[in-house]
């Protein structure tokens, strides 16, 4: 009987040791670094959002800035340059969950597409290693420089967007409950008005340039 307890105790001890070793190995393998990825494009229609005519910009410069939420002291600054596809990748060390982090547009190598729109020149991003996301990649919203002059066929593209919005609206309404339809209709109307406003601004700009 004593031998049985001794063997059981020995096995339990070995199991605990193995568990401890595995735990240490996992702790050593844990990587606290994150990768911030995003895309920079040329807003060829000057509508302040990405369209089918938007072009990727190679060689554009961006800067990631993290500031303390209370003191606004800068805690992190990283600069990057976009590749042929307009994408950039920034490696961030440590956790920055308690900071406000944003990717800012810095400069564009395209002389005809380097205008920065105030209020649309940055993308906020949460950089935390304890947010439940397994993969280390964090994706920022795409940012764009505005082209000096809009392309001639931008009007057709924006008209197509309005048509798609209406078509999608009918499809969505078919599967929505009656209670949700009113809210959905209001959202769709707002989107259509914004697109129509963009068309008007574009036509006005073309007419008086």
Q: Are 202 and 154 in contact (CB under 8 A)?
A: yes
Domain count, the chain: 3
Residue 157: the pLDDT is 79
pLDDT tens track for 147-195: 999 998 888 877 767 654 444 544 544 545 545 545 555 555 566 666 6
In a shared domain, residues 183 and 137: no
CATH of the domain at 85: 2.60.40.10
In a shared domain, residues 45 and 121: yes
What is residue 139's DSSP assignment? E
Which backbone phi and psi does 72 adopt, to 5 degrees?
60, 20
Task: Inform me whether the pLDDT recorded for 105 exceeds 60.
Answer: yes
In a shared domain, residues 77 and 178: no
In a shared domain, residues 134 and 192: no
Which backbone phi and psi does 163 adopt, to 5 degrees?
-65, -40
In a shared domain, residues 41 and 24: no
In a shared domain, residues 176 and 124: no
**pLDDT above 90: percentage of residues in the chain:** 47
In a shared domain, residues 63 and 96: yes
Q: State mean pLDDT over 134-139.
A: 92
In a shared domain, residues 57 and 105: yes
Q: Which of 97, 126, 147 is the last residue of a domain?
A: 147
In a shared domain, residues 63 and 40: yes
Band of pLDDT at residue 23, cut at 50, 70 and 90: very low
pLDDT tens track for 56-84: 999 999 999 999 999 999 999 999 999 99
In a shared domain, residues 48 and 84: yes
**Arithmetic mean of pLDDT over the chain:** 77
Residue 187: the pLDDT is 58
**Cα(19)–Cα(78) distance, integer angstroms:** 39
In a shared domain, residues 25 and 50: no
Task: Inform me whether the pLDDT recorded for 125 exceeds 50.
Answer: yes
Band of pLDDT at residue 14, cut at 50, 70 and 90: very low
In a shared domain, residues 93 and 1: no
Residue 132: the pLDDT is 81
Q: State mean pLDDT over 86-101.
A: 94
Residue 140: the pLDDT is 96
Tokens representing residue 46 in the block: 């000057």
State which residues form the domain around 111: 34-147
More confident call, 121 vs 159:
121
């Amino acid at each position: 009987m004593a031998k049985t307890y001794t063997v059981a105790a020995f096995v339990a001890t070995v199991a605990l040791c193995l568990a401890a070793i595995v735990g240490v190995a996992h702790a050593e393998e844990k990587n606290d670094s994150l990768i911030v990825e995003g895309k920079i494009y040329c807003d060829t229609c000057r509508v302040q959002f990405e369209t089918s005519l938007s072009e990727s910009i190679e060689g554009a410069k961006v800067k990631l800035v993290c500031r303390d939420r209370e003191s606004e002291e800068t805690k992190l600054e990283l600069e990057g340059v976009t590749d042929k596809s307009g994408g950039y990748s920034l490696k961030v060390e440590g956790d920055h969950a308690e900071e406000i982090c944003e990717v800012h547009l810095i400069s564009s190598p395209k002389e005809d597409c380097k205008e920065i729109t105030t209020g649309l020149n940055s993308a906020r991003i949460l950089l935390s290693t304890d947010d439940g996301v397994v993969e280390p990649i964090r994706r920022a919203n795409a940012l764009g420089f505005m082209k000096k002059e809009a392309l001639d066929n931008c009007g057709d593209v924006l008209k197509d967007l309005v048509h798609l919005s209406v078509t999608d609206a009918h499809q969505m309404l078919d599967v929505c409950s009656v209670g949700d339809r009113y809210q959905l209709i209001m959202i769709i109307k707002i989107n259509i008005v914004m697109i129509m406003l963009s068309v008007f601004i574009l036509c006005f700009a073309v007419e008086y340039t």
